[in-house]
Structure 1
Amino acid sequence: MTKSEMIERRPLAGAEAGRPGGVPAKFDTEGRVQHFPGNTIICHLSPESPLFEALLPLYRELEAENPDTLITLLPPSSWHMTVFEGVCDQVRKPGFWPSDLPMDAPLEDCNAVYSRKLQKFNLGFDAPFRLRIDGYLPRVNGIGLHLNPASASQESELRGLRDRLSDTLQIRHPSHEAYAFHLSIAYFIRFPSEQESAWLEAKLTEYLTKLPREFDLGLPEFCYFDTMFEFRRQFFLEP
C-alpha cells in the first residue's frame, strides 16, 4: 500500500450536511484545521506590504469577536493569492489530477513531476504583479478579497501564465477559464445567521475603506501544503 493510500480519506468539502464547503475536509465542525495535503503555485502577501498591515486590524477584530466558532481565520503568514491551483491529495478525478499521472499515484510522485517541470518553466515576464482590490468574494464558504489585475496587460500576462501552466502540468481545472483571483482571510465553519451576516457586512464594509486600492505581489512560488495554515515554498518561478 502506498503512503498516499494510507492517508485517511475524509469526506470531501461540502459533505457535512448543512455546512459550508470547507467542512469537514479542510476544517472540522469545531473549526480545527484538518490534514488536507497538496501542492500549489501562489504569491505570498509580504508582511511588508501595505495590504498586510491594513488587514491585521481586521484579522484581530474578527479573532476577538468570532461568535460561537462562526469562522476559522487563516494565519497572516499564510495569506496569499493563488496563481494556479495545483492538486489536493484527497481530490482524485479528471480535471483535478494531472492527466499524465495515474489517479492512484502517490502525492509525492506528483510533487516530484511538478518540481522537475517547473524548474525548467519560464515565467515569461517580470514581477511584481499589480493587483486591484474589487471588494470581497461572495460570502458563501468564507471571507476573501476579490482581486483583479490592475491593467489589461497584467490580466493578459496572468491568464496566459495560467494557460501555459495548465499545458505544462497537464491539468485543467473545471473553473480554469472563469477563475477568480482572491486572497482568503477566513473559512466559515457554519453558515451565519441573519444577525451575524449583518455584523459581518458592517465590519467588512468598514474595513474595505481602509485597505489600499492596489498592491503588488512578487514572483509566484511552487509550494507544498499539509493544511490550509501553511504553504511551504519550494522555489520561485523565474522569468
Structure 2
Amino acid sequence: MHDDPRPDFLRNFCGKGQGPKPERLGIRLDESGTFLSEPGNTVVCHVVPDSPTQRAMIKVRDRLRELDRNGHFAWTPVSSYHMTVFNGVIESQREQDHWPAELALEASIADTTHYLMPRLTGARPAAPFSVKLDRITPFGLRVSGATSGDQEIIKDFRERLAQRFGYRKPDHDSYGLHLTMAYIVRWLPSEAVETYLPALQQMTAAFQAEIPVLELGPADFCTFENMNHFEPVLRLS
C-alpha cells in the first residue's frame, strides 16, 4: 500500500488553516502564474532529457493539469525538472540559518556563488545513488532513496554540502526529496480532495510500475533567476 497522501494534501494545498494566500505568491510567482525574479543557487540532479522518466512525468503533468480546471497552479517547464539535493541561497531567504556564515546577509547572490565555487570544487564527489517515487502530489513527485544504501549516500552528501555551504537549515534532517512540477497560486477548495485523492493514487501506482528508479543526471551546483531554469556551473558527482 502507498502512504496515504491525505495529510500532506490537506496541509499544503487546501486553504483551511493556511492563511489568506500561499506564502510564495508575490515572491516566487504572481496571481497570473508568471514566475518572478527570485535568483539563487542550489545543488540539483536534473531529470535526464528525453528519458522514460521525463516522458512519464509529462504524462503526470498532463493529468494534473486536467484535474486543475480552475487554474490553481502555475506549471514549470519540462526542461527545468530536477530533484533538489541541497538548497543553496535564495534572494527571498536572507536569514542566518539559510546563508553562509562567513558572508554578510547583504551579499549579492553572485557574490555567494563566487564564494561557494572554490569550497565546492574541493568537495569529495558524491557516490552514485538512485531514487524511487514515493507518491505523486498536486505539485509533483515525492521521492526517496531507492534502497537504504542510497538513502545513506544522499544523507552523507547533504551533510558534507551543509559543511561546505556554511549553514544548516532548520529542516535539514526532515527535508523531503521531491521534484516540483507546479506551484500553487490559489488554495484548492476542501472538496477537491474527493477528486484528487483517487487520481493521485492511480498515478502513483502507474508511475511506480513504469519507472521503478528515476533517471536523474549527476548532481550539479546551479544558478537560477527564477523557477524556470537552473544553469549548471559545477559538476559535483
TM-score by length of structure 2 reads 0.84
What are the superposed Cα offsets for residues 128-149 of structure 1, whole Å, 9 maximum, x if unpaired?
A: x211111135xxxx51311110
Task: Return the alpha-carbon distance in structure 2 between the equivalents of residues 65 and 216 of structure 1.
Answer: 26
Match of 2:163?
Answer: 167
Is 1:226 aligned to 2:193, yes or no? no
Q: Which moved more, 1:67-76 or 1:115-124?
A: 115-124
**Amino acid across the alignment from 2:30:** D
Give, in angstroms, the shift of residue 191 of structure 1.
0.8
* 2:92 paired residue among 69, 90, 93: 90
Alignment of 1:170-189 (within 5 A): 170-189=166-185
* 2:47 paired residue among 45, 48, 58: 45
**Amino acid across the alignment from 1:149:** G
Give, in angstroms, the shift of residue 17 of structure 1.
5.2
Task: Return the alpha-carbon distance in structure 2 between the equivalents of residues 165 and 47 of structure 1.
Answer: 26
Check conservation: 2:131, 2:144, Cα contact below 8 A. Answer: yes
Task: Return the alpha-carbon distance in structure 2 between the equivalents of residues 26 and 79 of structure 1.
Answer: 17
Match of 1:71?
Answer: 73
Identity percentage over the alignment? 26
Work out the number of aligned pairs and report it.
217
**Amino acid across the alignment from 2:183:** Y
Task: Return the alpha-carbon distance in structure 1 between the equivalents of residues 33 and 69 of structure 2.
Answer: 12
Q: Which runs of 5+ in 2 are unaligned?
A: 1-17
Task: Return the alpha-carbon distance in structure 2 between the equivalents of residues 153 and 64 of structure 1.
Answer: 37
**Amino acid across the alignment from 1:229:** N
TM-score by length of structure 1 reads 0.84
Task: Return the alpha-carbon distance in structure 2 between the equivalents of residues 102 and 82 of structure 1.
Answer: 25
Q: Choose between structure 1 and 2: higher helix proportion.
A: 2
What are the superposed Cα offsets for residues 158-188 of structure 1, whole Å, 9 maximum, x if unpaired?
A: 1111111111110111101111111112111
**Amino acid across the alignment from 1:132:** K
Task: Return the alpha-carbon distance in structure 2 between the equivalents of residues 135 and 65 of structure 1.
Answer: 17
Q: Which runs of 5+ in 1 are unaligned?
A: 1-15
Give, in angstroms, the shift of residue 206 of structure 1.
2.5
Check conservation: 1:98, 1:169, Cα contact below 8 A. Answer: yes
Is 1:133 aligned to 2:133, yes or no? yes
SS at match of 2:55: helix
Match of 2:6?
Answer: none
